[in-house]
Amino acid sequence: MGSEEELVHAIPQTKGKAVHEAVDEKKYSSRKDDIVGIAVFSEEFGLTGKIDIFHKKEKLLLERKYKLETIYQGQIYQLWAQYFCMTEMGYEIDKLAMHSISTNKSFSIGLPGIDGKKEFTEFIHRYKNFDPSAKIEINENKCTHCIYINLCDKTKLENVYS
């Protein structure tokens, strides 16, 4: 029998973890102006997390994913969360991007601005007040691509990662 992690991680999570090892071990970049894999926090939002890479010289915060075909709003929120944490910690950030490791392509993501901060604040409020017993709308297309499908009791779909 496999480890507990093998039971709950889908293939994309396992690949993602392997890709992140260089960042987590701070071996991704030897550039002196890069900050790699640091813990970040925001008192305002009650968030903690870890960034992938911040290129100080370019003032660019970069989130790496193994494979990016579509950038979902949740991924943008992840990058915005890192942005809000880092700016609250005193870092100056001018650019955000997602990087697809499999294709070696980067995709610029807009800074949140005032409207984005309001949207993100509302999202965090909904997240913190989530009621798992409440009825939710199921989007089967989204479920099909979700890495948590094998852990979810809200869908009737078969596990696509087995």
Distance (Å, rounded) from C-alpha 47 to C-alpha 49? 7
Which pLDDT tens digit goes with each residue over 85-104? 999 999 999 999 999 999 99
pLDDT greater than 80 at residue 148: no
Which pLDDT tens digit goes with each residue over 129-144? 999 888 878 888 777 7
Q: Which residues, 6+ apart, have CB-to-CB distance to 89 below 8 Å?
A: 40, 41
pLDDT band, residue 162 (cuts 50/70/90)? very low
pLDDT value at residue 161: 46
pLDDT value at residue 32: 79
Q: How do 34-36 and 39-42 pair as beta strands?
A: unpaired
pLDDT greater than 60 at residue 120: yes
